[in-house]
Structure 1
Amino acid sequence: MPRHGRRVRPPEAAIRGNRVAQIAVALIAAHLAVRAVLAFGGFFYWDDLILIGRAGTQGLLSPSFLFDDHDGHVMPGAFLLSGAIIRVAPFSWWLAALSLVVLQLLATLALLRALHTILGWRPVLLIPLVFALFTPLAVPGFAWWAAGLNSLPMIAALAWVCADAVLLVRTGIQRYAVTAVLVYVGGLMFFEKAAVIPFAAFAVAALLAYVGGDRAAVVTVWRRGIRLWAAAGAVTVAWVGVYLLVVDQQRWSLDFAMTWDLLWRSVTHGIVPGLAGGPWEWQRWAPASPWGTPTGAVMILGWLALAAVFAVSVARKQRIGPVWAVAVGYALACQVPIYLMRSSRFTALELAQTLRYLPDFVVVSALLMAVGFCAPNRGGSGWLNTSAARTAVVVTAVVAFVASSAYSTVTFNRIWRDSPVPAYIANARAGLAEARANSNAPMLDQEVDPLILQRVAWPENLASHMFALLDDRPEFAAATTDLRMLDRQGRVVDALVTWVRAIRPGPAQQCGYLVQPDFPVRMPLDGPLLPADWTAEINYLANSDGSLTMSLAEGPEVKVPVRPGLNRVFVRLAGAGDAVNVRANTAALSVCISPGPVGFVAPR
């Protein structure tokens, strides 16, 4: 105890560290406020609607739900989390947006831990932190819910495992190996790209040892972390096996020319402008997601910023070359698997400008920046020592970067909000509720508007899947007596069947086609139908309640209920051919069918 109760002043380093920690917390709070505006101002889009459809039609714990080949992704954790949120509040965006903010907070705190593990509370910690918090390179991967469910848990795991690897090598405490492997497994559950985490962690730990003076850094890190690397390797091999079992490998492309074009475009129009806070401007063609359209000015600023940082780092720091080599290598390697799955001669280069594949690059860049600050200074670089001039230059550059990034974020948010989905969903929910109140008849199932979800997402683009979790709606069926449809704005309107083809008049006098249990009928059309989802208007006279089975000449069968008397039913028939096959399922049922149209459903 100090004498006479006099208070001992904390050392200067502790005061500085406390100030750095306070500034870091303030920066994180500002960052989360920006991300909250982005999240709560958005809405469900494309893959989000696929997640909604799957959660409404499958069991949340079923293997078919958790281990689905989702456009080349294996992500059971993301499916489970999204499914739980959707089941609690279907089409309620606030809970999905809240999950994005919470996941972003976890990822940010994991990054702060990793930066502190490498640098302590040195003021230079704020530079990589500011870059990671505010660069637009990470914005598109956050705002889109499905992308955020992939990338945010992954980058949280990436930062945590890197910190654990450094601590394991530094202290030898084996619990860091255990926690690192557990977190790594968690990251893999959300995004198969998390397989890069052990390699990134090894590189960060080895580079930190190397810049610290260990000439045998690779050997040292391998030996001290062998339990982590061995366990992570075994997990990676097992996960690769699961991935190969789940994913259709035919989606992989060998169009290396297009892959290279995408990589180069991601550098020139994505990463480099992002170093200066770009791209500033974005474009969007519905239903595509936004892509950056950097101006020549921000591209030049990006190259100048990159050249300046490289020149200053080489002039100031020793042993910095391998750090730059790993940064460049990761920037390319982290994107190659994605583009091999997406590239073909039909792929638009704008894919590389969407920036949604770069959040992990942002984290790795921040960590490598921190490692670079740990390298010893070169002799003769005293002109770069602490001074008022250096502080002014650094603060000016940081403020300019944040301002540029803020502008890019604002322009992204403006174009991201320009979506037809919110109005379509609102109209559909209101229209379906009214349709249920006005009629007991089911609605004929249909595809939603292509600007909302296209046929490549089948069957999740069907109204029966997208709106499966709504309580206040009609049932969806393959046959109905009241033909209604969702129009392009999502409104429920009365509909009719267009005359693409027609059922020819039948042979039976005053009956048309007589269908009985022992006498199935083939009703020829006035022309062939190509493969599609068609709708037939069936005008009939039945003697009793019962059911028919109908199908096109090439297509699946559909069960159609019938009522006694003169009635009309509309039947959805998938397939192709030049005739409709009909048979009666109910004993003693007799049905006369007259000519009618076969075509598409259109508003009346």
Structure 2
Amino acid sequence: MTATATRPAPTLAIPKSLTIAAALVAAIPFVVHAVATFGGYFGQDDFVILYRAGQSGPFDPGYLFQDYSGHIAPGMFLLAWFVTALAPLSYPVAVIPALLMQAGTSILLWRLLVRVFGHRWGLLLPYAMYTFSSLILFSTMWWAYSVQLFPLLLTMFGAFNTHLTYLRTRAPKHVVTTLLWTVAGMAFYEKAALFLPLLFGFTLLLGERVPWRVWLAHGALLAGFVGLYVGLTVSRVKEGLPSGDVMLEFLRRSVVDVFLPGLFGGPWTDPAMGAAIATPPLGLRVAAAVVAVAVVVGGVLVGGRKAVLAWGLLGAYVVVDLALVIVTRLPEIGPLIGNDPRYTADAVPITVLCGAFAYSSLRLQRAAAGLLVVLLGASATLSYLWLAPGLRFEKSRQYVATARAALQADPSIVLYDTRVPDPIMNTWFFQDGKASRVIGLLPGPPKFDQPAEHMYLLDDNGSPRKIENVRDAVVGRPGPYPKCGYAVGYDTATIPLSGRVDGRRLLRMEYYTSGKGPVTIRLGRTTHEVLLDDGLHVLYLVVDGSFDRVDINRATQVDPMCVVDVRIGTPVT
């Protein structure tokens, strides 16, 4: 009787201890990543996305379905609106949803692995390749990418799990749930369009067959998404492919320099410009490539036809990943884009799943699995911490903090909207790369480009600098009245300029009046209504257009004014 009572203990102990080990494999990199992420800040696209969220409503189709550099991501923009409405420009509030999705993805992946392969110690190794992946952890320190990738992976493994449930129960409701997971993924990242071929390959690897109507439903959803995407975006596909040499260099950088080292605990190197990674030493790259070849060949020897199918599915996914970059980004950026892990990070969990299928017949003992996981985890964590400073956006944090402190000390400050330094927002953001996008959501909110007697601009550190004059100026010609210049009353006074003004400039006008009140200033097709103070003052007014004269009148019951000097140019502090 005693033997009977104790017999189930080993079978119960194995899942429990394995589950604890899996929890540690997920929790350790999650905590490391969370600490490093909370030590970072917003940067680049983050400011544009959040600024647009602050100017829009949650049910505005134009906002939710905007073409953002070739992305249609209503889910991401809805999330951006939510965190902005909750706490504008609060980095901790913004990153918490991404971290929660990271945790959910790890849970769903482990559940999928156990459901497919059973409770095996060997599963810890592919699982650790995902949870410790420096490619994923580093690239998702950038908030804008984290709210694309983690929703994609969360919905991907949600779809895999519910599809597996359908295969085992054949209940139609699980097909519907799988489709809903897919829709949710498409709402955040267009790569969710690849769920259909992934689910099809997953079904083949399991040796299952699915009625054609199931694939027809998935195909109809995919066709609808493609139609919506094409209808709402301007094609980013460039005319003409890059040269063969450029493509080969890009493929080498993406696969040999970044992807393979990242899979095996690398890349053991420094961060580079933007979200890129510096090229690892040659010996480490060669070693990673040799290990990759050995893993593929070993999988075929162990797993046979199933391994060939698994590696084929992985290869097809990576080819699509890289082909998308080749036809869209490579022609304008060049092969250095291959060093950016954002374009291959989503292939890491596919590698994990395909590798688990390839080696599904291999039984790895607890000691061996534990040793390999410790070595992989330690190496990957070192790589991640080595890379993490590259995406902390310290310059952005300091810039916003400096501007916030200055505006809190003097909320009346009016700012001339200027470009911010490249480390905060790159030059290719053009009109979006300005201070108003970076600090526009601060409490107040900050005043930009409003008529003012004293106007400031933010320097490269975020400190307000008072504008003293304008340079490269187009000036008003001398007025007819020696001590008054131009007398402005009910009748319009026209001030001819020394040349034509084109584009965005700053108007500086010296005036005198004994009666405060409104004045109308017409500059070409643009009209400005400005309130003037009595006495001798200076007016700064941001102008944008094409004109060669300034028309001013005071069509109200106030005293006339004298315009002594007008000049329009670039601000000087």
SS in 2 for 1:498: strand
Distance in 2 (alpha carbons) for counterparts of 1:585 and 1:193: 59
SS in 1 for 2:285: helix
Change (3 A) 1:196 1:301: same
Q: How many residues align?
A: 566
What fraction of aligned residue pairs are identical, expressed as a percent? Answer: 24
Does the CA contact (< 8 Å) of 1:275 and 1:305 recur in 2? no
- Residue 196 of structure 2 aligns to which amino acid in structure 1? P
Is 1:429 equivalent to 2:421 in the alignment?
no
Among residues 327, 344, 358, which one is paired with 1:372 in the alignment?
Answer: 358
Distance in 1 (alpha carbons) for counterparts of 2:421 and 2:451: 20
1:289-325 CA-to-partner distances (Å, cap 9, x unmatched) read 3424222122012111112212221222221222212
Is 1:262 equivalent to 2:250 in the alignment?
yes
Unaligned runs of 5+ in 1: 210-216, 378-384
Equivalence for 1:252 = 237
Aligned pairs for 1:365-444 within 5 A? 365-374=351-360, 392=368, 396-417=371-392, 419-436=394-411, 439=412, 442-444=414-416
- Residue 563 of structure 2 aligns to which amino acid in structure 1? I
Among residues 273, 278, 282, which one is paired with 2:270 in the alignment?
Answer: 282
- Residue 332 of structure 1 aligns to which amino acid in structure 2? V
SS in 2 for 1:359: coil
Distance in 1 (alpha carbons) for counterparts of 2:518 and 2:554: 7
Among residues 533, 541, 547, which one is paired with 1:563 in the alignment?
Answer: 533
Change (3 A) 1:474 1:266: closer
Equivalence for 2:201 = 203
1:52-92 CA-to-partner distances (Å, cap 9, x unmatched) read 21122222321222112111111111111122112212232
How far apart are residue 395 of structure 1 and its match?
5.0
Distance in 2 (alpha carbons) for counterparts of 1:556 and 1:236: 47
Once structures 1 and 2 are overlaid, which stretch shifts more, 456-465 or 288-297? 456-465
How far apart are residue 465 of structure 1 and its match?
4.2
Once structures 1 and 2 are overlaid, which stretch shifts more, 424-433 or 326-335? 326-335
Does the CA contact (< 8 Å) of 2:276 and 2:341 recur in 1? no
Distance in 2 (alpha carbons) for counterparts of 1:529 and 1:400: 65
Equivalence for 1:356 = 342
Distance in 1 (alpha carbons) for counterparts of 2:159 and 2:149: 15
1:436-464 CA-to-partner distances (Å, cap 9, x unmatched) read 1xx4x644444444432245435544444
1:334-380 CA-to-partner distances (Å, cap 9, x unmatched) read 23224422222x41422221201223211111111122233x68xxx
- The Cα RMSD (Å) is 2.7
Distance in 2 (alpha carbons) for counterparts of 1:37 and 1:100: 13
Aligned pairs for 1:181-580 within 5 A? 181-209=179-207, 220-221=209-210, 223=211, 226-249=212-235, 251-257=236-242, 261-285=249-273, 288-319=274-305, 320-344=307-331, 346-374=332-360, 392=368, 396-417=371-392, 419-436=394-411, 439=412, 442-454=414-426, 456-457=428-429, 459-472=431-444, 474-510=446-482, 511-516=484-489, 518-519=491-492, 521-525=494-498, 527-529=499-501, 531=503, 533-542=504-513, 544-551=516-523, 556-576=526-546, 579-580=548-549
Distance in 1 (alpha carbons) for counterparts of 2:467 and 2:327: 44
Does the CA contact (< 8 Å) of 1:155 and 1:359 recur in 2? no
Does the CA contact (< 8 Å) of 1:449 and 1:487 recur in 2? no
Among residues 111, 114, 130, which one is paired with 1:113 in the alignment?
Answer: 111
SS in 2 for 1:493: strand
1:126-181 CA-to-partner distances (Å, cap 9, x unmatched) read 12101111122212332111100001010111112122223323331222212111
Change (3 A) 1:271 1:5: closer
Among residues 132, 150, 161, which one is paired with 2:159 in the alignment?
Answer: 161
How far apart are residue 396 of structure 1 and its match?
4.7
Unaligned runs of 5+ in 2: none
Equivalence for 1:43 = 41
Change (3 A) 1:39 1:474: closer
SS in 1 for 2:333: coil
Distance in 2 (alpha carbons) for counterparts of 1:387 and 1:25: 18
Distance in 2 (alpha carbons) for counterparts of 1:129 and 1:299: 23
- Residue 503 of structure 1 aligns to which amino acid in structure 2? V
Distance in 2 (alpha carbons) for counterparts of 1:72 and 1:18: 46
Distance in 2 (alpha carbons) for counterparts of 1:585 and 1:444: 26
Distance in 1 (alpha carbons) for counterparts of 2:554 and 2:61: 35
1:389-423 CA-to-partner distances (Å, cap 9, x unmatched) read xx64x655443322221221011113333630111
1:3-26 CA-to-partner distances (Å, cap 9, x unmatched) read 699735316444333332221112
Equivalence for 1:68 = 66
Does the CA contact (< 8 Å) of 1:435 and 1:492 recur in 2? no
Is 1:584 equivalent to 2:553 in the alignment?
yes
Equivalence for 1:381 = none
SS in 2 for 1:185: helix
Distance in 1 (alpha carbons) for counterparts of 2:108 and 2:526: 52
SS in 2 for 1:90: coil
How far apart are residue 523 of structure 1 and its match?
2.6
SS in 1 for 2:467: strand
Does the CA contact (< 8 Å) of 1:549 and 1:582 recur in 2? yes
Distance in 2 (alpha carbons) for counterparts of 1:471 and 1:573: 26
How far apart are residue 259 of structure 1 and its match?
5.5
Change (3 A) 1:528 1:18: same
Does the CA contact (< 8 Å) of 2:425 and 2:433 recur in 1? yes
Change (3 A) 1:274 1:161: same
Once structures 1 and 2 are overlaid, which stretch shifts more, 584-593 or 500-509? 584-593
Change (3 A) 1:420 1:174: same
Among residues 125, 128, 131, which one is paired with 1:130 in the alignment?
Answer: 128
Does the CA contact (< 8 Å) of 1:445 and 1:464 recur in 2? yes
TM-score of the aligned structures, taking structure 1 as reference length: 0.86
Distance in 1 (alpha carbons) for counterparts of 2:298 and 2:2: 51
